[in-house]
Amino acid sequence: MRYLGTLPLGPAAGNSVGIYGLVAVPERRRLYCSNLHTPWLTIIDTAARRLTGCLALEKFEQRGLMEMARHPRSGRIYVANERKNCLYVVDPAAGRLETVLDTPAEPHYIDFDERTGRIFVSCGGDGCLLVLDSRHRRLKTVPAGRQPWGVAVDPLRRRLYAVCQGENALWQFHLDSLEAAAGPAPLGKMPRCLAIDPATGRVFVAHRRERRLLVFDPSRPTPIASPATGWDAIGVTMDFRYRRVYVVNRMGELEEEIGQPATVSVIDAERLETVRHVPVGKISHYLALDGPFAYVANEDSLDVSVLDRERMEEVARIGNLGQTVDGIEVHPRNGRLYIPSHLTDEVIVADPAAGKVVARPKVGSWPSGVGIDGSRGRVYVSNMDNGTLTVLRDSDHSTAGEIGLGVGTNKVHRLWSRVAVDERRGRVFVTLTRFNGVAVIDSQSGRVVHRVRLGEENPDEQSAYVRVFEFSLCVDAGSGFAWALNGHRALLAAVDPESGKVAASISLSNLELPLERRFSPFSVLAAHPARRRLYVYNWIVSTETGRVTGSIPRETGTGVTAVDEARDLLYVHGLRGLAVLRADDLRQVDFLPLEPEPGGEPSELRALYALDPLRKRVYAVRHIMLSSNQLEVYEAPA
């Protein structure tokens, strides 16, 4: 396949994905933010309120960048990488990575003793606190129970505290001798972070699974107060100027990730009472103070909330920090590309003929699937958080309507919702991930005519999906059936849109399925109506008999991205790139070598492809774009 060029997707030169920790550098008017899924720090100009650059910490993709803190004496920024077991030391004045320090397993929180310059790092995997001097020489590792996470220094009273999540306890040490100062104090469910009030020495501990902040007096082993917070509390920040404590509640008021705003609980540090809960972005973690403002990093809305520090209300949002993409859909008539970007709640519309993005219409929360009805001029976008389907006009990309799918939220972690369109019969199909079914929609009226359940509901706990089990969907134009694949249950089912019933159900549980994330660029199901075949992962299924009739060699690829019926070709994605096979004998006729990210972790970075057979174009884009925020264009084989 001949390379033809690139198409910039914007808005940034690179992507910040999974924005997590943040620290303020007031003298430079900068915020530095860590990212869970990209190996750099995002740098924000707080005066202009915009992205100003990125600082690379790794050459290739590396997950696990989480907590970060700034040394009060040196001004250096320390960033923990819990998967690589290291600390990155960044000099913000010089704008460079200064060094990388090895740590015990799973470093998390970092705090400092301003008097001596010592550095304390909680290392959850090894159950200890790492102690370094200001020149980064290792002084000691202090045993601190099971899974210590939060760590905080009280320099005035010479105390060191650690929150042990594994045993729900607060540990206290003498700061100078590092000997235990008191026995572990019991905490609530899943404690995580803490802060110290320098005026009183009180300790504030937040919990991820309780709606309360426990307050301890340093001389007492039991809490003296428990003001209310939201759900899934992570970051705790002491504001000495206004005598308040701020708790960032990752999921706000609800107990699941379905698009509601996160909140910041504002607690009076004198009365130890909750004043209010301030809504911010989606899935938030930490708050940083900087002059008249406070900043909150919002992971799922991929932006930073700006709060007026005195009034404690949101006054601005710093966006355009990046995006992720979940697929590409080609308009069959005009060749435009529709790319859902779930962290920015929009669809990127790119025009290859113009060589640019022509629109970014906002849709619902967490868009994941796109289907196009070219004859009616409609684009359908599934919004997982809302459980809705946004309908866009393809002429000007304005919203023509929104269809409720009737099952509440459609979101289950890692089970993306997909859309397929049967133009000839006027039907739109949407996978209902939590319901474990398919919605059948009449495109003329916009009405849901059937909700077809494929089996028992899917569990909505994130722990159920340690590996990736994508929902996939396609239409067999010959029969009009919609075929849905639930990888979690290894079940392939055909839905009859007229009767609203399951016409066939095929268990794949006895097959070897490539279910790991690195094998699955989301699309693992495709139909070849002329040959009466389905391609499920690398297996070939007859739509007539419902039986497996063969397989594509695993080394060639693990899923069919597209079928070119006119040329009888299959486009098969694999770890090394995209192979083009003849459908009759599976002989390879072309190959596009395109690794997700050379040298990186293929478990996280996936290349996505789309075929435009009419214009003989192949498009490739990375799910998380590290080196550049662009789509690549190739000429398809004749």
- Mean pLDDT, the chain, whole residue set: 90
pLDDT at position 232: 93
Stretch (H or E) spanning 171: strand 169-174
Domains in the chain: ranges and CATH: 188-321 (2.130.10.10), 329-635 (2.130.10.10)
Check whether 600 has a pLDDT greater than 80. no
Lowest-pLDDT range, 97-101, 203-207, 470-474? 470-474
pLDDT at position 448: 97
Give Cα separations from 369 to 111, 281, 364, 482 (angstroms): 43, 23, 12, 15
Check whether 628 has a pLDDT greater than 70. no
Residues in the chain: 638
The 10s digit of each residue's pLDDT in 131-149 is 999 999 999 999 999 999 9
Give Cα 619 distance to the centre of its chain: 23
d(CA 539, CA 526): 11
Give Cα separations from 45 to 32, 56, 294 (angstroms): 9, 17, 14
Check whether 364 has a pLDDT greater than 70. yes
Q: Which two tokens stand for residue 93?
A: 């004045």
- Let me know: does 41 contact 21? Beta carbons within 8 Å: no
Check whether 599 has a pLDDT greater than 60. no
The closest of 140, 121, 119, 122 to 72, measured between CA atoms, is: 119
According to DSSP, the residues that pair with 525 across neighbouring strands are 536
Per-residue exposure over 284-322, b if at least 16 CB sit within 10 Å of its own CB, e if not: bbbbbbbeebbbbbbbbbbbbbbbebeebebeebbbebb
pLDDT at position 465: 47
Residue in the structure block whose two tokens are 């430079």: 28
Within 385-491, where are the H helices? none
pLDDT band for position 541 (cuts 50, 70, 90): very high
- Let me know: does 353 contact 84? Beta carbons within 8 Å: no
- Let me know: does 487 contact 472? Beta carbons within 8 Å: yes
- Let me know: does 548 contact 541? Beta carbons within 8 Å: yes
Amino acid, single-letter form, for residue 335 = G
Of residues 620 and 427, the one with the higher pLDDT is: 427
**DSSP one-letter code for 462:** G
Provide the whole-model pTM: 0.88
d(CA 130, CA 114): 16
Check whether 593 has a pLDDT greater than 90. no
Close Cβ partners of 104 (under 8 Å, ≥ 6 residues apart): 85, 123, 125, 126, 128, 130, 141
**DSSP one-letter code for 27:** G
The 10s digit of each residue's pLDDT in 334-354 is 999 999 988 788 999 999 999
Q: What is the mean pLDDT of residues 173-201?
A: 95
Q: What is the CA radius of gyration of the chain?
A: 26
d(CA 433, CA 417): 6
The 10s digit of each residue's pLDDT in 508-537 is 888 887 766 556 655 679 999 999 999 998
The 10s digit of each residue's pLDDT in 260-316 is 899 999 999 999 999 999 999 999 999 999 999 999 999 888 899 999 999 999 999
How large a percentage of the chain has pLDDT more than 70? 92
Of residues 246 and 595, the one with the higher pLDDT is: 246
pLDDT at position 62: 65
pLDDT band for position 408 (cuts 50, 70, 90): confident
190: left (phi over 0), alpha (psi -120 to 50) or beta: left
pLDDT at position 142: 97
pLDDT band for position 626 (cuts 50, 70, 90): low
